[in-house]
A and B are shown apart, each in its own frame.
Chain A
Amino acid sequence: MDLIKAYANKVASYLPAKQRASMRDEIYADLADEFDDYSATPEDFLADKPHPMKYAAALAEPNQAYLIGPQFYFSYVETLKGAAAIVSIIFIGLGLLEVGTSGQLIAPLLSASFSLLQALIWTTAAITGIFIALERSGERASWLDNWQTDSLAHWQSAQTISRTNIAFELGMSLILLAWLMGLFQFPTFVWHEGQRIEDWQLLISDGLRWAFIALLMVDVVQALWQLFEPVWSSAKRWVRIGFNGLWILALLFAWAQPDKIQLMISPLPDNLASLEALFNQLLNWGLLGAAALVLWDSIDLLIKSRKNSSK
C-alpha cells in the first residue's frame, strides 16, 4: 500500500476542487522525495507529519479574517456533512413511516420536507455556533494531533464519489423499497379527458418483488457505506459491479416475462384498452433501458478499475 500517496490524496480531498489535482501531485512528489531521504517506514515517516486536515489547513491563504479559521474549517465542513446525512436519513425515514401509517402521500411528504429543512437549519446553526466558540477560545484543533496512519487505508484511490449522487441513489432506493414493501401507495387514479380512471396498479409477481426488495436493501447498504467513506476503492467497485450483475439479471428476467410485471387499469373503459397496452409496452422497454443503464454503469466502473490498477 502506498501510504504516502494515500496521505497526499487525503490532504488534497480537503482542498478546493480546482486546486486538488495539482496540489495532490505536488504534495505527493515532494513527500516521496523527502521519504527517500528518510530511513524509516512510511508509517513512521507519516507519523511525524500533521493530520491531513491540519496539513490542508496550513495550505490555506493566511492573513484573512475568519469566522471559522483554517485550523477548524475542514473539521467544520466534515461535521456539517456528517450531521446533514444523519438528519436527512432520520427525517426521510420518519416521512416514509408517516406516509405508510397515514395512507396519504403528498401531505406527509411536504410536512417531512419542511421539518427536514428546519432541522438542517438548526443543526447547521448549532454546529456553526460550537465552531465559532472554539475559534474564539483559542483552541487549536488538538484532537487532530494524535492521528493514526491506519486511517489512510481507504485513500489509495484519489477518486472521490459525489455525495449528491449518493444521496440521490439513497433517496430513490428508500422510496422504491418503501413502495415495494407496501409502506405507501402512489395515488391510484388518473384523469383522462375529464374522466377519473380508478385503480391503476402495477402488478408484480411475489418472486420478482422480493428479488427487487433484496437488491434495493443492498443498494441502501452500499449507499450508506459510500456516504461515510466517499472514495472509490477496488472492493467498493467490485461489490457494485457484482450487484449490478444481479440487477441486470433481474431486470432482463422481468423484461422477458412481461406477465410478471404489468400495469393494470380497472375498471378499464373501452377507449383506453389500447392505452393500457401502450403503457405496458413502455414499461417492458423501460425495464430493458434500465438494464442497459446498469450495464453502462458496470462498464464504466470496470474501465476506471482497470485504469486505477494500471497506475
Chain B
Amino acid sequence: MDLSSPQIEKLRLELRRGAVPLAVLASLREEQHGYSLRKKLAEQNLEIAEGTLYPLIRRLESQGLLTSEWRQEDARKKRFYQISTMGEQVLTLLVSEWQQLNSAIENIVEGS
C-alpha cells in the first residue's frame, strides 16, 4: 500500500483527531484568536485547517470549556478565545489521560 494513499491519510487523521482538542485547550491557556492559534499550533508542527479548527472551537465553547470575546485589534474585529475554569479542570484530566495512554502505547510499540 502506498504510504500517501487516502486510507493511510485517513488513519493518520484519526490518530490526530483525539489529540487536537487537547492541544487546542492547552494553547488557549493564553488568549488567542483563530489565526494566531493556528499559527501557534503550526509552529509546534501541528497544522490544523480552518475547517477543523472552527467547529472544534465552537464545540468546546458550547461545552463551557472556552470563553470568547470580540475585540478590535489592528483595525479588525477579532474574536479572542481563552480556556475557562472548567476547561482548565478538563485539561488537567485529559493531560493525565494522555500521559497514561502515551506510556501504554510506548510500552506496546517497544514490546513488539
Give the B-binding residues of A (Cβ under 8 A). 22-23, 25-34, 37, 50, 55, 57-62
Which residue of chain A is the closest to B72 with respect to CB atoms? A29
CB-CB nearest 8 A-B residue pairs: A58-B51, A30-B35, A30-B34, A33-B35, A29-B78, A29-B76, A26-B79, A25-B77
A61, B58: Cα distance in complex, Å:
9
Docked-complex contact A29 and B79, CB < 8 angstroms: yes
| B36 in the interface (beta carbon within 8 A) | yes
| B59 in the interface (beta carbon within 8 A) | yes
Docked-complex contact B59 and A30, CB < 8 angstroms: no
Query: What would 19 more interface pairs be, CB under 8 Å, given A25-B70, A57-B51?
Result: A22-B79, A23-B54, A26-B54, A27-B50, A28-B76, A29-B34, A29-B78, A30-B35, A30-B78, A32-B76, A33-B35, A33-B74, A37-B39, A55-B50, A58-B51, A58-B55, A59-B55, A61-B55, A62-B55
Interface of A is mostly: helix
A34, B33: Cα distance in complex, Å:
12
Docked-complex contact A25 and B51, CB < 8 angstroms: no
Docked-complex contact A58 and B36, CB < 8 angstroms: no
CB 8 Å contact bits of B55-85 with A (1 = contact, 0 = none):
1001100000000001000101111000000
Within the complex, which residue of B34, B49, B70 is in contact with A58, where a contact is CB–CB below 8 Å?
B49
List of B residues within 8 angstroms of A34 by Cβ: 35
Docked-complex contact A59 and B54, CB < 8 angstroms: yes
**Measured between C-beta atoms, what is the minimum distance from A49 to chain B in Å?**
9
A139, B39: Cα distance in complex, Å:
32
Which residue of chain A is the closest to B49 with respect to CB atoms? A58
Within the complex, which residue of A22, A37, A59 is in contact with B51, where a contact is CB–CB below 8 Å?
A59
Docked-complex contact B54 and A25, CB < 8 angstroms: no
Identify 20 residue pairs between A and B in the complex whose beta-carbon atoms are under 8 Å apart, listed by A's number: A22-B79, A25-B79, A26-B34, A26-B79, A27-B50, A29-B33, A29-B34, A29-B77, A30-B33, A30-B35, A32-B76, A33-B33, A33-B36, A37-B39, A55-B50, A55-B51, A58-B55, A59-B51, A59-B54, A60-B55
**Measured between C-beta atoms, what is the minimum distance from B85 to chain A in Å?**
24
| B52 in the interface (beta carbon within 8 A) | yes
List of B residues within 8 angstroms of A37 by Cβ: 39
List of A residues within 8 angstroms of B76 by Cβ: 28-29, 32-33
A50, B49: Cα distance in complex, Å:
11
Which residue of chain B is the closest to A36 with respect to CB atoms? B74
Which residue of chain A is the closest to B57 with respect to CB atoms? A26
**Measured between C-beta atoms, what is the minimum distance from A22 to chain B in Å?**
7
Which residue of chain B is the closest to A26 with respect to CB atoms? B79
**Measured between C-beta atoms, what is the minimum distance from B94 to chain A in Å?**
19
List of A residues within 8 angstroms of B33 by Cβ: 29-30, 33
**Measured between C-beta atoms, what is the minimum distance from B38 to chain A in Å?**
8
Docked-complex contact B79 and A58, CB < 8 angstroms: no
**Measured between C-beta atoms, what is the minimum distance from B67 to chain A in Å?**
15
